[in-house]
Amino acid sequence: MEEDNAHEGPSASRPSIGKNDVTADGIATMSEDISKMTIQEARQSQDESIIREQIALAVGSKSASLLELRRTVDRGYGLFAAEDIKRGTCIFKEAPLFVVPPDTTLQRHAYRLLHKNPESIHPANFWILHDHLSRRKTHANVEDVVHRQVDDYAIFTTNNLQMRFGGQHGTAVYTTYSRLNHSCSPNTYSFYNNLQGVETLQATRDIAAGEEITVSYTDLLRTRNQRAASLKKWGFTCACKCCKGANSSISQARRQRMFDIDQAIAFHDCTDPFQKTMQQASQTLPVRSDGKLRWAEELAKLCGEEGLTDMDQAKAYRECSRWCLELGKLKAAFEFANKELEIQRVCYGNDFKPVDDAEAWVSKLQDRIDEQRKAAVLAEEQRLYEEGLKADKAAYQEGKKAWAADKKVNKKAKRAIKAAAEKAGLTTEDAEALLARIDNEKLAVVAEKLKGEDDIEKVKSIIAELRS
């Protein structure tokens, strides 16, 4: 057996170190390396524990229970779904760790704010920083502090997020939000709720337990090269399925078309002639409104195929609604507007209204529909009224004609009866009195009986019968 072992080569599971290769220095080096790895793992475990505590403090235990902190292969830490999360769920609301107003000249001053201006730190997060930094000082040496300060600034430049201050853009850093990694097809949508002073994260599709929760760091209606250039400032190359997946070439073609349509719409809506001159779009919208509608419908469809069932698709539906209204298709415009509203409620919840509120647009279209219905009811009532007048007039004319005809017949019948009565020996006065006693309906019948009758006795008999 010893002879066989002598001929074994190195393998992945067995290091090729002979007994004579192991020296005291080698053992010491290995021991030191193992010790460093153990310390590093312990610190990493401690850091993860601290981060989890920070997240729970920042977003609350209920929201934190939806999140699982994991280290990814190539992007540091990430947040994963600890359980199934339904579309439209508010995953968390988080106050900023600290904010940099838009008037700050250099963003590097923000790093100093952490150390010199604690008032800039949101009260809800002050103790997160206090607790975190105090813990680190208990086990940090000078070198650790130096490296940590360098890392702090790097993290700030990487994890800062734009937020709005009275219509202007500033910068903020968040404990939890900053742990979210990027995807060009994210499963969440985030917005800053200026009324509550919190960044809000909403699930834009069902997220399965164990799936990474992702956001977008850039404009997604852009080509792959444009997105890659934008993401360079974050210091990484995106490897999501849209950029590196098996169907990335198909995605690239879709995003190119989405970019072209988006730019054509922006160019069409631009009211600044100078800007239009300086930034000519590669493609322009069709001249006819029905062509514009087809492009908007195509953009909405492509957003769905790319998994962008967020406000990008909602805005495409607004364009569809807009051009349907232009074409007089009010019902279709209302249907597209409701699709936009459904997505807005998924992305913003029911407690916040964005500037270009879909609910206001739906309400405006509903008012038009109501006005149209009222106008239709009034038009129908007017039509029925006019038809009634027309029918009454026609009936009157028919009645008038019938009356005239009856009058003519009765007049003729009266003459015949009067002549027969006088023939039977009645005076003119008696004949007139006889006619007065006969109903108009019977005049024609009596006249018909007397018509052509030459027998004077029979005539007398008929007249006598009428007089009785």
Rg from Cα positions in the chain: 46
Among 57, 55, 77, 50, residue whose Cα is nearest residue 67: 55
pLDDT band for position 142 (cuts 50, 70, 90): very low
52 pLDDT above the threshold of 80: yes
Predicted confidence at residue 250, as pLDDT, reads: 94
Count CB-CB contacts under 10 A for residue 141. Answer: 8
Question: What would the DSSP string read from start to end of 227-244?
Answer: HHHHHGGGT----SHHHH
Predicted confidence at residue 170, as pLDDT, reads: 59
The per-residue pLDDT of the chain, averaged, comes to 78
Residue 141 in 3-state DSSP?
A: coil
Which of these ranges, 5-19, 60-74, 321-335, has the smallest mean pLDDT?
5-19
Among 364, 370, 305, 294, residue whose Cα is nearest residue 327: 294
| pTM higher than the cut 0.75 | no
Rounded average pLDDT over 323-346: 97
- Highest average pLDDT, of 118-122, 333-337, 386-390, comes from 333-337
Percent of the chain with pLDDT over 70: 70
Among 374, 377, 378, residue whose Cα is nearest residue 366: 374
Q: Which tokens hold the place of 241?
A: 């399925």
Rounded to whole angstroms, the Cα distance separating 176 from 55 reads 6
Kind and range of the H or E run holding 214: strand 214-215
Q: Are 460 and 434 in contact (CB under 8 A)?
A: no
Kind and range of the H or E run holding 150: helix 142-159
Q: Tell me the Ramachandran region of residue 312: left when phi exceeds 0, alpha when psi lies from -120 to 50, beta otherwise.
A: alpha
Which of these ranges, 70-74, 97-101, 118-122, 158-162, has the smallest mean pLDDT?
118-122
53 pLDDT above the threshold of 80: yes
Among 457, 456, 423, residue whose Cα is nearest residue 434: 423
Q: Which tokens hold the place of 299?
A: 């953009």
Whether the CA torsion 167, 173, 175, 180 is positive or negative: it is positive
Q: Tell me the Ramachandran region of residue 458: left when phi exceeds 0, alpha when psi lies from -120 to 50, beta otherwise.
A: alpha
Rounded average pLDDT over 200-218: 96
Rounded average pLDDT over 405-427: 76
Percent of the chain with pLDDT over 90: 40
Which of these ranges, 164-178, 236-250, 283-297, 410-424, has the smallest mean pLDDT?
164-178
Q: Which residue has better confidence, 426 or 157?
A: 426
Kind and range of the H or E run holding 77: strand 77-81
Rounded average pLDDT over 88-108: 73
Q: Which tokens hold the place of 46?
A: 């401690």
pLDDT band for position 90 (cuts 50, 70, 90): very high
19 pLDDT above the threshold of 50: no
Rounded average pLDDT over 221-227: 93
Torsion, CA 344, CA 350, CA 356, CA 360, rounded to 10: 110
Rounded average pLDDT over 186-210: 95
Which of these ranges, 3-17, 99-113, 379-393, has the smallest mean pLDDT?
3-17
Phi/psi for 394 (5° steps) reads -65, -40
374 pLDDT above the threshold of 90: yes
pLDDT band for position 7 (cuts 50, 70, 90): very low
Among 179, 205, 201, 207, residue whose Cα is nearest residue 82: 207
* Angle, CA 362 vertex, CA 357 and CA 364 arms, to 5°: 95
Rounded to whole angstroms, the Cα distance separating 306 from 254 reads 8
Whether the CA torsion 251, 211, 175, 201 is positive or negative: it is positive
Rounded to whole angstroms, the Cα distance separating 132 from 366 reads 53
Rounded to whole angstroms, the Cα distance separating 449 from 465 reads 12
Q: Are 129 and 97 in contact (CB under 8 A)?
A: yes
Q: Are 68 and 82 in contact (CB under 8 A)?
A: yes
Q: Give the chain's length.
A: 468
CA of 333: how far to CAs of 289, 292, 313, in Å? 13, 14, 15
The b/e string for 428-458 (b: 16+ C-beta within 10 A; e otherwise) is: eeebeebbeebeeeebeebbebbeeeeeeee
* 447 Cβ neighbours under 8 A, 6+ residues apart: 412, 413, 414, 416, 417
Q: Which residue has better confidence, 165 or 414?
A: 414
Q: Which residue has better confidence, 452 or 308?
A: 308
Q: Which tokens hold the place of 336?
A: 């597209």
240 pLDDT above the threshold of 60: yes
322 pLDDT above the threshold of 90: yes
Residue given tokens 């106008």 in the structure block: 375
Residue 358 in 3-state DSSP?
A: helix
Predicted confidence at residue 44, as pLDDT, reads: 59
Domains along the chain with CATH numbers: 46-216 (2.170.270.10), 374-467 (no CATH)
Predicted confidence at residue 43, as pLDDT, reads: 56
Which of these ranges, 86-95, 147-156, 192-201, 419-428, has the smallest mean pLDDT?
147-156
Q: Which tokens hold the place of 294?
A: 């087809």
Residue type at position 193: N
165 pLDDT above the threshold of 80: no
354 pLDDT above the threshold of 60: yes
Rounded average pLDDT over 346-366: 94
- For the chain, helix (H) and strand (E) counts, in that order, are 17, 10
